[in-house]
Chains A and B, each alone.
Chain A
Amino acid sequence: MAKVTSPMGRVGSFSRYVLLVACTLGALLPGYIMLTGAFKTQSEFLSSPWSLPANPTFKAFGESWSAGLPSWFVNTILVTAGAVVGVMVLSALAGWGFAYWQFKGRETLLGIIVSLMVVPPVVLLIPLFQFGAQLGWISTFRILILIYIGLMLPFSIYLLANFFSAIPHSLLEAAQIDGASTGAIFRRIVLPLSGPPIATLAVVNILWAWNELLLALVFLQDPEKHTLMVGIAGFRGRYSLDIPTVMAGLTLVTLPLVIAYLVGQRFFIQGLTAGGIKGE
């Protein structure tokens, strides 16, 4: 029996690659359709969706670009930047608060915060919308940024608190003996050590804010305030007779993500798997 393992192993290895290649194709095919579709004409897309574009044209890109993409990009960047900077600052402070001090109820409090990660936004949508409406903040970025910060905080605090807790005790003690204040320790010792986790966290949060649809859809009523996701969601209805334009728009929206992923794949994978429930 033992003697046959070797050829079987080779067969096994072959079938493994077949499986992996098949799954790889499955993961990439929609992207292929999107990208090639963007260079086709409507009739070419409908008649031969799988082939490479016979006469690549950039017309669809021009069309989708002039349909509002530039302002959606700007809006998305503003909202994402505001929310992510806010959440990074707040979660770093809170994470340090949780990591540095032992206080009664600390575990429970952290536990509650962690469990908030799973509260679906649709549950919070109605009261927050009414709140925004009363303040006249509908179609403003500040209400959306505020809510994004709140929604991203639980995971961010959790991640940073965990990291800060793991900073070697000896480093902090030495600084304490030197008489450094808590703030100084945080600034001079903790933050410089925290580059990688902060970068990882930033990637996760940027991705989340960039991709968010439901809240942006409800809160940003004014077409001038639409983000990429809201714009793209309406795009399909407007260009249902011009699929290449839709595909070109989607390609442009996805491009920054693809580039970021190619450059910083490690951060994406670390950050998203650390969170578990983030990433929608």
Chain B
Amino acid sequence: MRKTIKAAALLGVAALTLAACSSGGGGGASSPSASGGSTAPSPTSTEPITLTMHWWGDQEAPGAKKWLDAAITAYQTAHPNITIKETLETTDGLIPNFEAAAAAKTPLDIQYFWGGIYAQQPHWAGNTAAISDFLPADELAHYTNAQMEDSYQGKIVSAPWYVNPSFPVLVNKDLLSKNGLTVPTTWTDFLKTCDTLSAKGIPTIAGGVKDGWFGGWLYSILGAQSVTSQKQVLDAVVGNAKFTDPALGDWWTRLEESQKHKCWNSDINSQELYQAQQMFVDQKAAMTVTAGPDAPNFATKAGGPDKIEVMAMPAWSNGPLAGKIASSSQTLGIPSWSEHKAEAADFIKFLHSADQLQAWYDITGSLPADDRFDLTQVTDPIKKSLFAGGTDNVPYMENFIPAQLDSDAVFKNVQLVLKGSETGAAAAADMQAQMERLRTTDRELVTNFTNWASGQ
């Protein structure tokens, strides 16, 4: 009997020792070590190196994978000692998988981030090294939106890859004219269009908010219209302004109006984003919103330039950003625990070489994030209007709020408002309440955003 107790006691000790050992190991995901600067040998080194790259983007820029595979082959031919292993992530998996990789410090050298906050947050958490530590300023100066979206305390945290004109509205002119309508450019016209089409059982604009993301798009194309600059939004995040202020909160009421006027497909809450866009292709809805890089393909699928027009969301405000397509760059960053940071940066730079920029455009038909790309070759009217939006430095507002505010307040309230179970005013109030809540739950949010805002 005594021996049993002893055995049990021994087990207990073993457990405690285990616990002590691992807590000494430094809390995993919670406290990743700061970036260690460049410890890697120079890119000219000849020892065999494997670069691991996790990315996303084929979903919104079809052809990206084909291009990347070719670029990797080309780079490997030029650098025989380097092997690049790439993994295409899912939309839902992109962020969680990076978090997990950061916690586990699994080999990872190049990681895809959406621009703005999605590139900033991993850097604040110490999970990415600044790309400006590895690439010269005169190189990065060419990268579209690097300064606007990805700068933090004088550094560029992630390297723009391709531009996402965010977000174009596609209009089926044919469908409108068949119903005696013209393309609406003002909010009033838009609502009138909705009235006319909904009376005939046609959704004016197709969307799907079940998986949330589209809510963030709507925030950017409606919510940004009355804002003067991204600084105003960052101020609301840290508490110097409120999301219920007219400039920041009125768009919710516009969203409510669009619901009241039956602008959307009735099943918007049980559709995923990509599912709903298909309605537009099938000529079942007059308008839809797509990712910028994807827009030309959508336009082609839905009938080509004769039928389809690309434009900004109809304007409801006189704000400087209203009626414009915003620009955001999707980026590639370097994880802080990568052992081959210099090589990774060199590969990123390679992707910005003239040949690769051209190949990107040729294969995907979308805009590379580099001002050295020759825009004059673009003649297609749809691409022209898209790329004009992509290069005029209008901030894409979803990228300047905390990602958690996006999902906990924007995604959520867009679903509720579009379902008709919440008013716009209540949504604005909830967004403000969620922001106040996040300032409590995220104990470093205010500091980080204050630092970010100070550079804007």
A touches B (Cβ under 8 A): yes
A interface residues with partner B (beta carbon < 8 Å): 103-105, 129-134, 136-139, 218, 221-223, 234, 237-238, 240-241
Kindly name the residue among B25, B28, B91, B105 whose own CB sees the greatest number of chain A CB atoms within 10 A: B28
In the bound complex, how far is the Cα of B222 from the Cα of A20, in angstroms?
53
Q: Give the docked Cα–Cα distance between A131 and B4 (Å).
A: 29
Closest CB in chain B relative to A231 CB, distance in Å: 11
Beta-carbon contact of A130 and B274 below 8 Å: no
CA distance A103 to B22 in the complex (A): 34
Q: Which residues of chain B are within 8 angstroms of A105 by Cβ–Cβ distance?
A: 4
A133 touches B28 (CB 8 A): yes
Given contacts A237-B91, A237-B272, A238-B90, contact A133 B278 (CB under 8 A): no
Of all chain A residues, which has the CB nearest B98? A221
On chain B, the residues within 8 Å of A132 by CB distance are: 104
Given contacts A130-B22, A130-B29, A241-B274, contact A234 B103 (CB under 8 A): no
B1 near A237 (CB under 8 angstroms)? Answer: no
Verify B101–A234 contact, CB threshold 8 A. Answer: no
Q: Given A133-B29, A234-B93, do A221 and B278 touch, yes or no (CB 8 Å)?
A: no
Give Cα A205 to B389, complex, Å: 57
User: Which of A221, A237, A241 has most chain B Cβ within 10 Å?
Assistant: A221
A234 with B4: in contact, given A136-B106, A223-B87 (CB under 8 Å)?
Answer: no
Q: Does B97 contact A (CB under 8 A)?
A: yes
Q: How far is the CA of A137 from the CA of B106 in the complex (A)?
A: 9
Do A130 and B103 contact each other (CB < 8 Å), given the known contacts A240-B272, A240-B274, A241-B278? yes
Bound Cα distance from A105 to B6, whole angstroms: 13
- B275 pairs with A133, CB closer than 8 A: no
Across-interface contacts of B22 in A (CB, < 8 A): 130-131, 134
A138 to B101, CA, bound (A): 8
Q: Is B92 in the interface zone, CB < 8 Å from A?
A: yes
B182 CB → nearest A CB, Å: 30
Q: Once the chains bind, are B92 and A234 in contact (CB under 8 Å)?
A: yes
- Which single residue of chain A is at the shortest CB-CB distance from B273? A240
In the complex, which residue of chain B has the Cβ closest to the Cβ of A219? Answer: B100
Chain B residue with the shortest CB-CB distance to A43? B282
Q: Determine how close the nearest CB of chain B comes to the CB of A49; give it in whole angstroms.
A: 14
B residues near A (Cβ < 8 Å) are: 1, 4, 22, 25, 27-29, 87, 90-93, 97, 100-101, 103-106, 211, 272, 274-275, 278
Quick one: closest B residue to A230, CB to CB?
B93
- 17 further interface pairs, Cβ-Cβ under 8 Å (given A129-B103, A221-B97): A104-B1, A129-B28, A130-B27, A130-B103, A133-B28, A133-B103, A134-B25, A134-B28, A137-B104, A138-B104, A218-B100, A221-B100, A221-B104, A237-B90, A240-B275, A241-B274, A241-B278
Cα A221 to Cα B104 with chains together (Å): 10
Chain A min CB distance to B274 (Å): 6
In the complex, which residues of chain B have a beta carbon less than 8 angstroms from the beta carbon of A103? 1, 4
Q: List the A side residues contacting B275 at CB < 8 Å.
A: 240-241
Q: Complex formed: what's the CA distance from A130 to B26 in Å?
A: 10
Would you give the shortest CB distance from B299 to chain A, in whole angstroms? 18
Is A237 touching B104 in the complex (CB atoms < 8 A)?
no
Give chain A residues whose Cβ lies under 8 Å from the Cβ of B90. 234, 237-238
Q: Which 3 A-B pairs have the closest CB atoms?
A: A130-B28, A138-B104, A133-B104
Question: Chain A contacts of B274 at CB under 8 A?
Answer: 240-241
Given A237-B211, A241-B278, residue A221 in contact with residue B28 (CB < 8 A)? no
Contacts of A136 in B (CB 8 A): 104-106
Closest CB of chain A to B103's CB: distance in Å?
Answer: 4
**B100 close to A138 (CB less than 8 A):** yes
Chain B hits for A223, CB < 8 A? 87
Q: How far is the CB of A253 from chain B (nearest CB, A)?
A: 18
Can you list 24 pairs linking A and B with CB atoms under 8 Å apart? A103-B4, A104-B1, A129-B100, A129-B103, A130-B22, A130-B27, A133-B28, A133-B29, A133-B100, A133-B103, A133-B104, A134-B22, A134-B25, A137-B104, A138-B101, A138-B106, A221-B100, A221-B101, A221-B106, A222-B106, A234-B92, A234-B93, A237-B211, A241-B275
Nearest A residue to B4 by beta-carbon distance?
A103
Chain A residue nearest in CB terms to B272:
A240
A234 to B96, CA, bound (A): 13
CB neighbours of A237 from chain B (8 A): 90-92, 211, 272
- B91 proximity list for chain A (CB < 8 A): 237
Q: When chains A and B are docked, how far (Å) is the Cα of A133 from the Cα of B90?
A: 22
Q: Which residues of B contact A234 (CB under 8 A)?
A: 90, 92-93
Centre residue among B22, B100, B211 by max chain A CB count within 10 A: B100
The residue from B28, B106, B272 contacting A139, defined by CB atoms under 8 A apart: B106
Question: Measured between C-beta atoms, what is the minimum distance from B29 to chain A in Å?
Answer: 6
Contacts of B97 in A (CB 8 A): 221
Complex interface: chain A residues within 8 A of B29 (CB): 129-130, 133
With a cutoff of 8 Å between Cβ atoms, the chain B residues found around residue A133 in the complex are 28-29, 100, 103-105
A218–B25 Cα distance when bound, in Å, is 21
Query: Measured between C-beta atoms, what is the minimum distance from B175 to chain A in Å?
Result: 20
Name the residue on B nearest A103 (C-beta): B4
Q: A residues within 8 A CB of B25?
A: 134
With a cutoff of 8 Å between Cβ atoms, the chain B residues found around residue A130 in the complex are 22, 27-29, 103
**A103, B5: Cα distance in complex, Å:** 10
B26 — nearest CB in chain A belongs to which residue?
Answer: A134
Q: In the complex, A130→B104 CA distance in Å?
A: 8
B145 to chain A, nearest CB (A): 27
Query: A103 CA to B87 CA in the complex, in Å?
Result: 55
Which partner residue on chain B sits nearest A241 by CB separation?
Answer: B278
Least Cβ–Cβ distance between A26 and chain B, in angstroms = 21
Q: Give the residues in chain B near A222, CB-CB below 8 Å.
A: 87, 106
Chain A nearest Cβ from B60, distance in angstroms:
14
A20 to B6, CA, bound (A): 57
Q: State A101–B75 Cα separation when bound (angstroms).
A: 68
Docked complex Cα distance between A132 and B103 (Å): 9
- CB neighbours (8 Å) of A238 from chain B are 90
Least CB distance, A245 to chain B, in whole angstroms: 14
Which single residue of chain A is at the shortest CB-CB distance from B282?
A43
Residues of B within 8 A of A139 (CB): 104, 106
Q: In whole angstroms, how far apart are the Cα atoms of A11 and B29 in the complex?
A: 65
> Within the complex, what minimum Cβ distance (angstroms) separates B33 from chain A?
13
- The closest CB in chain A to the CB of B275 belongs to A240
**Closest CB-CB distance, A110 to chain B, in whole Å?**
13
A137 to B104, CA, bound (A): 8
Bound complex: CA A163 to CA B275 (Å): 53
- Distance in angstroms from B385 CB to nearest chain A CB is 26
Contacts of A104 in B (CB 8 A): 1, 4
Q: Tell me the bound Cα distance from A178 to B1 in angstroms.
A: 27
Chain A residues whose CB sits within 8 angstroms of the CB of B92 once the complex forms: 234, 237
**Cα(A37)–Cα(B272), bound, Å:** 19
